[in-house]
Structure 1
Amino acid sequence: MDQPFFMPRPIGPVQDPTKTLRDLICSSDLSFLMEAHDGLSAAIAKQAGFKGLWASGLSISSALGYRDASEASWTELVDVVERVADASGLPILVDGDSGFGNFNNARLLAMKLLKHGGAGVCLEDKGFPKVNSFVGDHHRLADIGEFSGRLKAIKDTTGNDLVLVARTEALIAGFGLEEALKRADAYADAGADAILIHSRKSDAGEILAFAKQWQKLPLVIVPTKYYRTPVSTYRDADISTVIWANHTMRAAIAGMREVCSRIAAEESIAGVEAEVATLDEVFSLLRYDELALAEDRYLPKQELTGAPR
């Protein structure tokens, strides 16, 4: 009897990731993007049911062993985004930091992301190099006109093929609501598709005040510090998208630290075996079953009568 012919698992209708991301951000329903920093975290986020991903600069830098201070290069970022895209097939909004330089660096980054799996890029209005928003008290903002030029360069280069999110750090830098709104207005005029307003406070008061006055474009937030705010509050404020920005990376740190400490102290893996993912879970997550079927179809059978040759 003939062996059944191996066919790869159907992927379904091919969706335009940029359109999918744009639909998520522009939807009247609140959308959520989950952080991913490598192929494995992307596959896990997809398995959990998320429809879109945030390629976090902090998380990717941390996973590479760098500080989130423009130490990782744009080429390293693009490499990670490609792996995230391959592992998940989900639309990815990429944290492009401040664009890795001037308008020319920003548009080069955007072009490369578009070619390697990015569906959107988010640029923040800081100078280069930048420092993570939650580190220190000195955050130098870019000139409004110069940053608008970075946004225009990306829009002129990629058009509607890449979702462009402009992130203002005005509140992070200690400026008030008026400055944040002025900058957001300018970035909307420069061609941004959405505005991300960021805060380092433990309550959402200044974010909600911004949302109350902002009407022009979809609004994206990152509630890392004001995490106790109920999601219903964001819906009531007509916020478009919430980014869970760094939690798989932080969960990985906590889990790996615990396991490494236990194994070092106990000099055994017996005590932690029940607390870590099984190998079968790993194999299932990364679709080893498809690899086995492919091997059955395409590799010659090995005779077991002697040593391998």
Structure 2
Amino acid sequence: MLSSVRFLARSFSTPSSFPKKTKALKTLLTSNELTFLMEAHNGLSARIVQEAGFSGIWGSGLSISAQLGVRDSNEASWTQVLDVLEFMSDATTIPILLDGDTGYGNFNNARRLVRKLEQRGVAGVCLEDKLFPKTNSLLDDGRQTLADVDEFALKIRACKDAQSDKDFCVVARVEALIAGWPMEEAVRRALAYASAGADAVLMHSKKSDPSDIEGFMAEWHKVGAPAPVVIVPTKYYKTPTKRFEEIGVSTVIWANHNMRASVKAMQDISNKIFKDQNLLDVEGRVATVKEVFRLQGMDELKTAEGKYLPGDGSNIGE
């Protein structure tokens, strides 16, 4: 874990003082070793993910919408999501891959999203081949209508043509297995998106076992594995991580667990305080205010106030 002083010094440094985020994400996706992205949904959770030691962040659409209090059905506009991502990017020096849903419209909306993400230091975007507005893939009996494969491939091409940084990553998320289509369709779509320029494909499944992923990886290797494969084992979480490495998966996304952990913690604490009408039994179960100040970067602010404010500094921290 980075010390607070070292971490904050990097946070307030110029971009050239740490590795380029887009290059770092591309390295993760193309590594010969299994790599991991951890979910975050705001600036604070993003900083916590970095301090935990993760090399990359998944900007989860489900988690971002949940912390805004709306459904994961594009109820939060793309500009509202972008605002959240800006805080996350500013709070960290590791790359963020945004869960960009369908790109919030057609190719024109998606390529504008890419340009705006680049401006905010976000390293990549993952786009899924469903129709706007999307439905969460894990929703029971949810509408899972797929986009036309040729049109979505051209959307990927438009995004790649729009990026100004050659290392910005566009990941194509294949929803064929989620929608109940056969493996042949999943492979056909993945090949089309890789041919269109996708830096990786995300193969999604909501089975409780890894059979979908194992089946896809077998077929993917038969066609030469033209792009790295990313997975999201939210439903098949009992599968040993070693298995993903054995079948040639590139990157694993832990997709929503910080949001879910915070929901449970806030429910428990709120219910406890409501019942007890005091704080005696909860103070030891929550982070200290001092720890919150540390995560917010108060030490750096104190140092800066001493440098840039006149006087004896007696107002520091007030």
Shift of 1:295: 1.7
What's the RMSD between the two structures over aligned residues?
Answer: 1.5
Work out whether 1:242 is the aligned partner of 2:252: yes
2-structure distance, mates of 1:243, 1:77: 19
Aligned to 1:143: 148
Asked if the contact 1:43–1:286 (Cα under 8 Å) also holds between the matched residues in 2, the reply is no
TM-score, normalised relative to structure 1: 0.93
Percent identical pairs in the alignment equals: 52
Structure 1 counterpart of 2:21, from 5, 13, 17: 17
Q: Does 1:44 align with 2:54?
A: no
Trace 1:120-199 onto structure 2 (pairs within 5 A): 120-137=124-141, 138-158=143-163, 160-199=166-205
TM-score normalised to structure 2 length? 0.90
Q: Choose the corresponding residue for 2:235, options 225, 230, 236.
A: 225
Q: Is the 8 A contact 1:81 1:117 kept in 2?
A: no
- Count the aligned residue pairs: 297
**Contact kept? 2:306, 2:313, Cα under 8 Å:** no
1:214-236: CA deviation from partner (whole Å, max 9, x where unpaired):
11110000000000100000110
Report if aligned partners of 1:21, 1:91 keep a CA contact under 8 Å in 2: yes
Shift of 1:82: 0.8
Residue range with higher mean Cα deviation, 155-164 or 170-179:
155-164
Shift of 1:258: 0.4
**Is residue 2:270 matched to residue 1:267?**
no
* Aligned match for 1:209, one of 198, 212, 215: 215
Point out where structure 2 has 5 or more consecutive residues left out of the alignment.
1-7
Superposed CA offset, 1:118-137 (max 9, x none)? 10010000011110001133
Runs of 4 or more, structure 1, over 6 Å off, are none
Tell me which of 100, 110, 116 is aligned to 1:106: 110
- What is the CA-CA distance between 1:296 and the residue it aligns to? 2.1
Query: What CA distance in whole angstroms lies between the structure 1 residues aligned with 2:74 and 2:303?
Result: 43
Cα distance in 1 between the residues matched to 2:313 and 2:215: 72
* CA distance, structure 1, for counterparts of residue 73 and residue 84 of structure 2: 17
State the structure with more CA Rg: 1
The reply on whether 1:280 has 2:290 as its aligned counterpart is: yes
Aligned equivalents of 2:308, 2:286: Cα separation in 1: 34
Deviation at 1:260, TM superposition (A): 0.3
- Kindly state the Cα deviation for residue 303 of structure 1 after the two structures are TM-superposed: 9.9
- The SS at the match of 1:294 is helix
Residue number in structure 1 paired with 2:305? 295
* CA–CA separation in structure 2 for the residues paired with 1:303 and 1:151: 53
The aligned amino acid for 2:102 is S
Letter in 2 for 1:203: D
CA contact (8 A) 2:26 2:167 kept: no
Alignment-mate amino acid for residue 9 of structure 1:
A
Structure 1 residues 149 and 303: alpha-carbon distance in aligned structure 2, compared to 1, 3 A threshold: closer
Which residue of structure 1 aligns with residue 266 of structure 2? 256
Corresponding residue of 1:75: 79
CA apart distance, 1:43: 0.7
The structural deviation recorded for 1:146 is 1.0
